[in-house]
């Protein structure tokens, strides 16, 4: 039996925990495996299309996208299937609805949060009320140009 691939949430949040809509914090996609939802995919540069293994949660192709798979399944069902395939860690870049579904299904193994030095106030929060408790272990911290990247592993 092959080991299950890890799923890593990668997102940017304000200092007060609000999700950010800007996409300039995304990692380099070359050779990586990604799971995007339509919310994030529609904001990305078309140049990302051919880089790595990319799956987009969408009932239909959003734009001409070479080498991109569009998946109509529920986010949790799709991620379970991707985790069972051979390959590298799956980077999850998604909007709040998809993130909350995957957290509720306990499918996220690692959390990589880029903390932007600003307070947003009343926008959508990464951890909304009713999120089940999850023990995490800090793996690393890095800083660049005022942004702090926090990497956590889900303890099971």
Domains of the chain: 7-154 (3.40.430.10)
146, 66, 136: which is closest to 114 by C-alpha? 146
The pLDDT of residue 76: 97
Task: Report the pLDDT value the prediction gives residue 22, as an integer from 0 to 100.
Answer: 62
pLDDT value of residue 153: 98
SS3 of residue 125 by DSSP: strand
Element (H, E) at 144: strand 136-144
Per-residue pLDDT of the chain (156 residues; tens, 9 = 90+): 566 899 999 999 999 999 887 655 555 555 678 888 887 877 775 555 545 788 889 877 666 667 788 899 999 999 999 999 988 899 999 988 899 999 999 999 999 999 999 998 878 888 888 888 899 999 999 999 899 999 999 999
How far apart are the C-alpha atoms of 127 and 55, rounded to whole Å? 24
The three-state secondary structure class of 4 is: coil
């Amino acid at each position: 039996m092959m080991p299950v691939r890890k799923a890593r949430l990668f997102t940017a949040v304000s200092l007060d925990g609000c999700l950010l809509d800007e996409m300039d914090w995304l990692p380099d996609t070359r050779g990586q495996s990604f799971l995007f939802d339509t919310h994030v995919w529609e904001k990305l540069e078309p140049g990302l299309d051919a880089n790595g293994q990319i799956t987009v949660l969408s009932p239909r192709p959003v734009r001409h996208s070479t080498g991109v798979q569009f998946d109509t399944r529920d986010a949790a069902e799709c991620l379970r299937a991707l985790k069972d395939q051979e390959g590298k860690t799956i980077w999850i870049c998604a909007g709040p609805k998809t993130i909350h579904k995957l957290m509720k299904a306990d499918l996220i193994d690692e959390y990589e949060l880029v903390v932007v030095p600003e307070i947003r106030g009343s926008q959508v929060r990464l951890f909304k009320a009713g999120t089940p408790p999850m023990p995490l272990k800090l793996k690393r911290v890095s800083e660049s140009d005022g942004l702090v990247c926090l990497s956590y592993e889900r303890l099971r």
